[in-house]
Amino acid sequence: MTRSVYVTGIDRGDGRQVVELGVMELLTRHVDRVGIFRPLLHDGPDRLFDLLRSRYRLSQTPEAASGMTYAEATALQAEQGTDELVSRLVERFLAVGREYEYVLVLGTDYGATNLPDELALNARLANEFGAFVVPVVGGQDQNAETVRSEARNAYRAYEALGCDVVAVVVNRVAPGDRDAVVERLAARLPVPCYALPEDGSLSAPTVAQIVQALGAEVLLGDAAGLARDIRDFVFGGAMLPTFLKALTDGCMVVTPGDRADLIVGALAAHSAGAPPIAGVVLTLDERPGPDILALASRLAPGTPVVSVPGGSFPTAEQLFSIEGKLDAASPRKAETALGLFERHVDTAELTRRISVARSGRVTPMMFEHELIERSRAGRRRVVLPEGTEERVLRAADVLLRRDVCDLTLLGEESAIRKRAAELSIDLGDADLIDPHTSPLRERFAEQYARLRAHKGVSYELAYDVVSDVSYFGTLMVQEGMADGMVSGAVHSTAATIRPAFEIIKTRPGAQIVSSVFFMCLADRVLVYGDCAVNPDPDAEQLADIAIQSAATAARFGVEPRIAMLSYSTGTSGSGADVDKVRKATELVRELRPDLLVEGPIQYDAAVDAAVARTKLPESKVAGRATVLIFPDLNTGNNTYKAVQRSAGAVAVGPVLQGLRKPVNDLSRGALVQDIVNTVAITAVQAQGEQP
């Protein structure tokens, strides 16, 4: 039978979606094909399923992932009994199970379902599915003793009904009570009990959710502004000086639409970063004139200003009843939820208890998960020189929410904080350093002048050079103040790696610095080298690139099988270009006889088993290559971009190899996820672990 885990509850309001998301994250780290099954659902969109499908790139449709609606279940149970209801739901589950290696089952939500004894129904379904059970208990507004009793009762209820309970999760516990809850339950339950503290940002609605709930008209604001969390509401009625004192970080200002002074004042305060607001709701169906709206858009670009027809009091009643939800439109909440889950749940223990065996191959999603997991496990500090760039700030937001690594951002501190406020990003514990004003500037200038004295660099010149963010960040790495650096979102490759060549230099045993891209295709991860640094390596350098690339591949879980690429396969061609590749292949075999390597070989023979059977039937690499080494930069760079665009591959890199300490470059077209992945790779490189 298909393996499955059933996440269920005992009542409403337990915030179970955090646990369901966390368990899905665990499953997709280890299993190639994970399916979702929700036995019963309400009419209308399934927000959590939409989030899971989007985040984990599921091919499942909502129809294929569900049993029936609550209304259908109630009618069926009333007419034909519980046995018939369960029988039909088991049929639907088995249909899902035939398509997937592991299934995450989302239990009922106890929300106006009209089903008698809903807990017993969940227990019976879990037993019929053969699923492991993880009950979730809500701890909001309860003391530690009450939470302990609820968790123990939940375990006993499911265990008494024959369920294989593998862990209990208590969610939304008062932060101050968490440790006491864990301690008390550890002595009372025979299975692990994890306690997740309440996080106000998860229950905070976004501006977009407010707009939808109120049917508001958006007058100003962009997608980023609408995604902001609302942490508080401030109702405008006082005069401007008093009103400004009432503003709080992340508040939503609610004011009559004819109070232009409060509108402009709130947006001006946001622009100054004191404090950053979420947006403005205008009541009474009043709208400012075009001049005021134009001024508002210039004061705080992207900040939402929305209009509702009702007055402040009825609007307030609606606002206070809206709670934030995890859905596909709020990816930042998902990152927060995962960070919370991973900090407070022993994921290795839970993975073992739900019997998740790692798949035999590395899929792109597994690769990305592995990066995050390994980066978090051996925490390092990464410096990001482009501290005011939006994509870098958004990536920092994800990295901090997921607790992936420590960060230092470079740039003028006030400019970084203002830009972060505009994007509604909390930089938390990240360090912010301005190279121009930092007391480290003098020390770094002395260090750089010593390193480059043979090039005639004086202290005065060095003092100017090290104020450049790339040089400053590289010197932080060199001096051990950061473990690695990632740059290039707005800087050229040369601007990023030249300081590394001058300051960090190559590690012992490496002839040159080279690069690889991790090419995440639909069904596998390949390593391409060198596509970014060396224009025309000779045979010795090409062999060095191959050996370094194999080591990089192995470090990140890709079994290295090296293809030395050329326009000719085997002995079918000749010429200087083919001879270079042939010689490089021989050098790799001589230097590293333990590595599987083939060359010269054409790309199709390297990756396509059918072609390989024709051209090199005896090769252990042909048709199965994972590390593809290009003969020159022109070929490599164009090939990676062609595959990226035409095959929809995710290209992570370039990842530099051969330096004493990790510095990595970004494409100037890098997406936020690209930056997140590259930072995680850099942190893992800095750990110095052997594969």
pLDDT digits (tens, 9 = 90+) for 509-527: 788 889 999 988 877 889 9
What per-residue confidence (pLDDT) applies to 113?
66
pLDDT band, residue 14 (cuts 50/70/90): confident
Looking at the structure, tell me whether residues 569 and 675 fall in a common domain: no
Give the mean model confidence (pLDDT) for residues 415-440. Answer: 87
Assign residue 63 the CATH number of its domain: 3.40.50.300
Read off the pLDDT of residues 313-352 as tens digits, 9 standing for 90 and up.
Answer: 888 888 888 877 777 777 888 888 888 898 899 988 999 8
CB-CB contact of 35 with 57 (8 Å): no
Q: What's the token pair of residue 289?
A: 């004139």
Give the mean model confidence (pLDDT) for residues 385-394. Answer: 92
Q: Which residues contact 556 (CB under 8 A, 6 or more apart)?
A: 367, 370, 371, 518, 681, 684, 691
What per-residue confidence (pLDDT) applies to 599?
84
Phi and psi, residue 294, nearest 5°:
-65, -40
Read off the pLDDT of residues 404-415 as tens digits, 9 standing for 90 and up.
Answer: 899 999 999 988
Assign residue 227 the CATH number of its domain: 3.40.1390.20
What per-residue confidence (pLDDT) applies to 387?
92
In a domain, 329, yes or no: no
In a domain, 192, yes or no: yes
- The strand order across the sheet containing 279-283 reads 217-220, 305-307, 279-283, 251-256, 232-235
Give the three-state DSSP class for 497.
helix
Q: What's the token pair of residue 102?
A: 């592991």
What per-residue confidence (pLDDT) applies to 218?
92
pLDDT band, residue 544 (cuts 50/70/90): very high
What per-residue confidence (pLDDT) applies to 540?
93
Looking at the structure, tell me whether residues 166 and 240 fall in a common domain: no
Read off the pLDDT of residues 451-495 as tens digits, 9 standing for 90 and up.
Answer: 888 888 898 898 999 999 999 999 999 999 999 999 988 888 888
Looking at the structure, tell me whether residues 139 and 244 fall in a common domain: no
Looking at the structure, tell me whether residues 169 and 232 fall in a common domain: no
pLDDT band, residue 176 (cuts 50/70/90): confident
What per-residue confidence (pLDDT) applies to 691?
35
pTM reported for the whole predicted model? 0.76
In a domain, 356, yes or no: no
In a domain, 81, yes or no: yes
Which of 138-147, 184-193, 437-446 reaches the highest mean pLDDT? Answer: 437-446
**DSSP letter, residue 558:** P
Flag whether pLDDT at 690 surpasses 50: no
Which amino acid, residue 254? V
In degrees, to the nearest 5, what angle opens at C-alpha 337 toward C-alphas 331 and 342?
125
Looking at the structure, tell me whether residues 154 and 60 fall in a common domain: yes
Looking at the structure, tell me whether residues 500 and 517 fall in a common domain: no
CB-CB contact of 506 with 658 (8 Å): yes
Give the dihedral sign, CA 502/504/510/516.
Answer: negative
What per-residue confidence (pLDDT) applies to 527?
94
Flag whether pLDDT at 163 surpasses 80: yes
CB burial readout 598-622, b (16+ within 10 A) else e: bbbbbbebbbbeebbeebbeebebb
Q: What's the token pair of residue 510?
A: 């490496």
**DSSP letter, residue 437:** T
Give the mean model confidence (pLDDT) for residues 122-133. Answer: 92
Read off the pLDDT of residues 63-114 as tens digits, 9 standing for 90 and up.
Answer: 899 999 888 888 888 888 888 988 999 999 999 988 998 999 999 887 666 6
Give the domain range for residue 602. 510-658
Give the three-state DSSP class for 27.
helix
User: Would residue 459 be called left, alpha or beta, if left means φ above 0 and alpha means ψ between -120 and 50 degrees?
Assistant: alpha
Q: Which residues contact 67 (CB under 8 A, 6 or more apart)?
A: 37, 38, 39, 40, 41, 73, 88, 89, 92, 93
Assign residue 369 the CATH number of its domain: 3.40.50.10950
Looking at the structure, tell me whether residues 455 and 520 fall in a common domain: no
Give the mean model confidence (pLDDT) for residues 647-670. Answer: 85
Looking at the structure, tell me whether residues 466 and 389 fall in a common domain: yes
C-alpha to C-alpha distance for 655 and 653, rounded to whole angstroms? 5
Looking at the structure, tell me whether residues 379 and 484 fall in a common domain: yes
Q: What's the token pair of residue 316?
A: 């307030």
What per-residue confidence (pLDDT) applies to 681?
92
Looking at the structure, tell me whether residues 75 and 154 fall in a common domain: yes
Which amino acid, residue 275? P
Looking at the structure, tell me whether residues 191 and 43 fall in a common domain: yes
What per-residue confidence (pLDDT) applies to 360?
56
Q: What is the dihedral of CA 603, 607, 613, 616, to 10 degrees?
A: 50
What per-residue confidence (pLDDT) applies to 649?
76
Assign residue 645 the CATH number of its domain: 3.40.50.10750
Looking at the structure, tell me whether residues 371 and 456 fall in a common domain: yes
In a domain, 353, yes or no: no
Read off the pLDDT of residues 17-65 as tens digits, 9 standing for 90 and up.
Answer: 999 999 999 898 888 789 999 999 888 888 899 999 988 888 899 889 9
**Which residue's structure tokens are 């069904």?**
523
The closest alpha carbon to 332, from 281, 376, 393, belongs to 393
| CB neighbours of residue 391 within 10 Å | 19
CB-CB contact of 94 with 67 (8 Å): no
What per-residue confidence (pLDDT) applies to 497?
85
Read off the pLDDT of residues 591-611 as tens digits, 9 standing for 90 and up.
Answer: 999 999 998 999 999 998 889
Instruction: Report, in angstroms and rounded to the nearest whole number, the Rg of the chain calculated over CA atoms.
Output: 28
What per-residue confidence (pLDDT) applies to 12?
77
Q: What is the mean pLDDT of the chain?
A: 87
C-alpha to C-alpha distance for 439 and 416, rounded to whole angstroms? 19
In a domain, 460, yes or no: yes
Q: Domain total for the chain?
A: 4
In a domain, 327, yes or no: no
C-alpha to C-alpha distance for 506 and 534, rounded to whole angstroms? 14
Give the mean model confidence (pLDDT) for residues 270-295. Answer: 87
